[in-house]
Structure 1
Amino acid sequence: MANGQDDDQKIKKRIPFSKNNAFCIAPWTHTYISPQSERRMCCASREQHSFMQQYIDQAGEGKTASYQPLTLEEHWNSDHMRSIRRKMLSGEAPAECMVCNEQVLNIYTYKSYFNKVLFPHHIQKAYDLTDDTGRTSMRPVSYDYRLANTCNFKCRMCGEPLSSSWEQEKRQYSEWDPNRDIWMQPHINAEIKKFQREVVEQEFARAITSGTMEEIYWVGGEPLMWEQHWRYMQDLVDLGFSKNVHVRYNTNLSKIVHKGVHLFDDILPHFKSYNVCASIDAAGKVGEFVRTGLNWEKWLENFKSGLPYMKKRGADSLIMDVTLTLPGLFGMKELHDLAIELDVKMYVKIVFAFDPSIVLSPFAAPKKVLHSILDDLLREIEPKANSKTMVLVETLKEMKNRPTFEEAYPDTYQEGFLRGRDQQRRLARYRKDGEESRLTIEQIYERNPALSQWWNS
């Protein structure tokens, strides 16, 4: 026995990193918590949830438990985390890591980013400072702490766990189920906010003042809507630690000034480096449809305010972060043209879809129709693409090799499609699609008669 572990819970052989395709440095350096206090290795890991499902979980997977949140101390060297580390060090790919290992979302994975860009200097320490049970003396230096679901957008592919605007809409139209959405019950919701305020924020504040933090990932909700974001970033500046910290954002970029403090002018110049991923999933009116709450012209104005600093900080400092949806494909040519015009990079991922009811996924469409849309788009953008936008071309091509929902879910595809379409039609009524120059999904799909016929069938 060692640290309470028998031989079946010990690493038998450590595979060197150079030969270890399963290894990711995240479980030694990074810590994540959702707005509902769900802790995981990272935002892309598909773990058995302790309280509620996350956006990457399959519908019906696991059981919803009572609210019993863990502190970072309880989580960091827990049985689960030690098991993950044992598997990785012995060269076994954990099932929780399938999003990266199978390139479910994008062709450039989170694991690669952690290993090659953020923390290659910690890899040897991970091997040296982890015992055979998976317990490590290393402490997290990277934080993805989603302090609240506060968000002013209702992006069609999002939901109430990550958007207070979605939550408000669900409550307004009685679209939530107290038995399924336990976290929305008033007394549980109050417990979550108390834990986030009294435990999670205190953990984060200690990391800020310790001077050991190397990276923050600000993502929400909408992090630029949080007062805590502006306060903690200013704390790092005032303490003199900002020069050692890399900052990542995933933001809708609707707000870049808080109480007279400008994100690009007053905060980010003090940091070691930064990567502002400005979420935008199509240009113009199509983009405004996909991301309910988006003002395209205001987004463009805010994005351009960061361009002068990009010339100093490099191409990775300001990015168009794109999630590919089926309606969004019809605003992709214009978005690509803008990226070329502004000479900026694109990051591209495909909307999460582990269920055929996710009808905004490109793979919801019939294969022949989808491939015709992809081919038309590739003919438009591939001749113009450069090294900063070629990822869009590569992703669109790779999508043609993936099964559509009709192929992946032959027994449930039709029922899933009808259920998903009904949901989108309810959203259209709630959000008054078609009024005040707002597009409807039907108007977008009319641009491809075969797609329109499928949608209305």
Structure 2
Amino acid sequence: MSDVICPLILNHVYTGTRNERRLCCSATPRVSQDKKRTDEEWWNSEEMKGIRRKMMRGEKLEMCGVCYYREENGLESLRQEGLHDWDIDELLKNLQPDGSVDVLPEFFEHKSVHCNLKCQTCTPVLSSTWMKLEKEMYGYKWPNNFDDEYEEKQAESIINAILDKRCKKINWAGGEPMMMPVHWKVTDKLVELLDDPEYHDYVRSIRIQYNTNLTKGIWKNKSIPEMLKPFNIELRTSMDGVGDAFEFNRDGAKWDECWNVWNEYYDLGFEIEVNAVYTAPLIMNMDAYQKQYIDKDVRFYDHIYVTYPDQYPGGGQGMVDIRLYPQHIFDRIVTNAENSLKKYMNEGFERGLDILRIYRDEKQKMAHIFENEDIIRKMKGYTEHRDNFCDNVKFQDLIWELDQEAAEWYSKIESLPYDPNENKQAGWRAEDWEGR
């Protein structure tokens, strides 16, 4: 079992942005989209018992491909992180031969599609604002999957685990957690329990992890950082660049406003991780990005831009993919980014170097895709189309600001008109995109 064993299917339940069940935030495809079962009913369902039996036999699981991909490329996977965080031997004591687990889950991960941004590497699967963008860009109305009744059940499940003192960890992600009704129902309960001597120490011990875009700093006229200060918070902040690069990648966000909220958390002593997806604008912006945090006690936990190049141009999001750039420009930009990572040596910089190494390898292995003229022309067509819907910064302006040589190359590409039908059929638009 050593290569497949994962603690998350032994102590953890996950609900995705479409109210579906997955094994974790990295797992795809979904296991079930059944909205009727509670966490307790889902926990020892036939689906989950079957998955655990496969794991016990040492079989690789179809939905765990992202973790296998990361491990094969030398990146730590979520599975491996879980093995660091949880005592697998203790968890296995609760596992029965039929795949059932004797104890109820202690780790809750909840995502919601509620979001106010339309980030360049996102999709309508993960953002309600992207749903609206989908209609504007392609004339396609993305199905509305809000379910107030189901979210109420989810909140009750987590609150019951807290009242039973069973909950050890909660992971809020999105979308944007600060816009999620489930999050605020649970958080309001945690704040209430702080005043109860029986629960005070316990609720402060629960490990609560956030992935937040920092656009929301106030709740019910109160500072969110101040409200969360008493708890055991690990804050993962989505900061895809600095200044204009940030505002382009995190379309709809304002750099100065988000940076002010970031500093409010930092000044209050929160444990903070800085996250970014390694897009072309971020890599070109690497020196400013790394320098921004040089005097801050934070850890970087950046992400590889996971796509399906064999589905390009339909499976891509335009010229944010650095692997599409000519080899000599790619090499210079990536080398400069590597030098910036080594110069500042912020905690976690090695992960960034690993991501850039993988980009180098993939550009060589898939040169027939990344150097295909028609694909590049269609990718520019997509980028030009997307620029029409950017709130603040457009790619055609940003690239001149970030890299003159890359901008000159980009300006000379004769774009092909964007075909929305081609993209609708692509993998990144499939309903199982989440987790990729």
The bucket for the TM-score relative to the shorter chain is 0.7 to 0.9
Out of 10, 17, 29, the residue aligned to residue 35 of structure 1 is 17
- CA-to-aligned-CA distance 1:46-93 (integer Å, 9 cap, x gap): 225645xxxxxxxxxxxxxxx766543443223332232123223333
The answer to whether the 8 Å contact 1:87/1:94 transfers is: yes
Out of 15, 28, 45, the residue aligned to residue 27 of structure 2 is 45
- From the superposition, tell whether residues 373 and 91 of structure 1 become closer, same or farther in structure 2 (CA, over 3 Å): same
1:179-328 alignment runs, 5 A limit: 181=142, 183-184=143-144, 189=145, 192-239=146-193, 240=199, 241-269=202-230, 271=231, 273-310=232-269, 317-328=271-282
- From the superposition, tell whether residues 297 and 27 of structure 1 become closer, same or farther in structure 2 (CA, over 3 Å): same
Tell which has more relative contact order, 1 or 2 (C-alpha 8 A, sep 6+).
2
CA–CA distance in 2 between the matches of 1:72 and 1:91? 26
The alpha-carbon deviation at position 125 of structure 1 amounts to: 3.2
Aligned to 1:356: 312
Matched position secondary structure for 1:93 = coil
Give 2:191's aligned amino acid.
V
Aligned to 1:391: 351
Out of 311, 314, 338, the residue aligned to residue 378 of structure 1 is 338
The alpha-carbon deviation at position 194 of structure 1 amounts to: 4.1
The alpha-carbon deviation at position 173 of structure 1 amounts to: 4.8
- CA-to-aligned-CA distance 1:84-139 (integer Å, 9 cap, x gap): 2123223333232121122179823211221102x22xx22332222222122232
Query: In angstroms, what is the RMSD of aligned CA positions?
Result: 2.8
- From the superposition, tell whether residues 370 and 83 of structure 1 become closer, same or farther in structure 2 (CA, over 3 Å): farther
- From the superposition, tell whether residues 163 and 268 of structure 1 become closer, same or farther in structure 2 (CA, over 3 Å): same
CA–CA distance in 2 between the matches of 1:422 and 1:33? 35
Q: Does 1:440 align with 2:391?
A: no
The alpha-carbon deviation at position 254 of structure 1 amounts to: 1.2
5+ long unaligned stretches in structure 2:
194-198, 415-436
Matched position secondary structure for 1:114 = helix
CA–CA distance in 2 between the matches of 1:103 and 1:260? 42
The answer to whether the 8 Å contact 1:106/1:350 transfers is: no
- CA-to-aligned-CA distance 1:367-388 (integer Å, 9 cap, x gap): 4432321012223342222445
CA–CA distance in 2 between the matches of 1:197 and 1:68? 10
- CA-to-aligned-CA distance 1:299-324 (integer Å, 9 cap, x gap): 111111122333xx6xxx11111111
CA–CA distance in 2 between the matches of 1:214 and 1:248? 11
The alpha-carbon deviation at position 164 of structure 1 amounts to: 1.5
Q: Does 1:141 align with 2:106?
A: yes
Q: Report the TM-score, using the length of structure 1 for normalisation.
A: 0.78
Aligned to 1:99: 66
Matched position secondary structure for 1:144 = strand
Matched position secondary structure for 2:13 = strand
The alpha-carbon deviation at position 44 of structure 1 amounts to: 0.1
5+ long unaligned stretches in structure 1:
1-14, 52-66, 433-437
CA–CA distance in 1 between the matches of 2:217 and 2:273? 15
Which segment drifts farther, 279-288 or 163-172? 163-172
Aligned to 2:135: 171
Aligned to 1:425: 384
Residues matched between the structures, number: 397
The answer to whether the 8 Å contact 1:89/1:127 transfers is: no
The alpha-carbon deviation at position 350 of structure 1 amounts to: 1.2
- From the superposition, tell whether residues 309 and 112 of structure 1 become closer, same or farther in structure 2 (CA, over 3 Å): farther
CA–CA distance in 2 between the matches of 1:341 and 1:211? 38
Out of 120, 124, 133, the residue aligned to residue 160 of structure 1 is 124
The alpha-carbon deviation at position 419 of structure 1 amounts to: 4.6
Matched position secondary structure for 1:32 = strand
The alpha-carbon deviation at position 167 of structure 1 amounts to: 1.3
CA–CA distance in 2 between the matches of 1:43 and 1:334? 30
1:113-132 alignment runs, 5 A limit: 113-117=81-85, 119-120=86-87, 123-132=88-97
Aligned sequence identity (%): 21
Matched position secondary structure for 2:361 = coil
CA–CA distance in 2 between the matches of 1:116 and 1:427? 41
Aligned to 1:449: 405
CA–CA distance in 1 between the matches of 2:283 and 2:124? 24
The answer to whether the 8 Å contact 1:406/1:413 transfers is: no
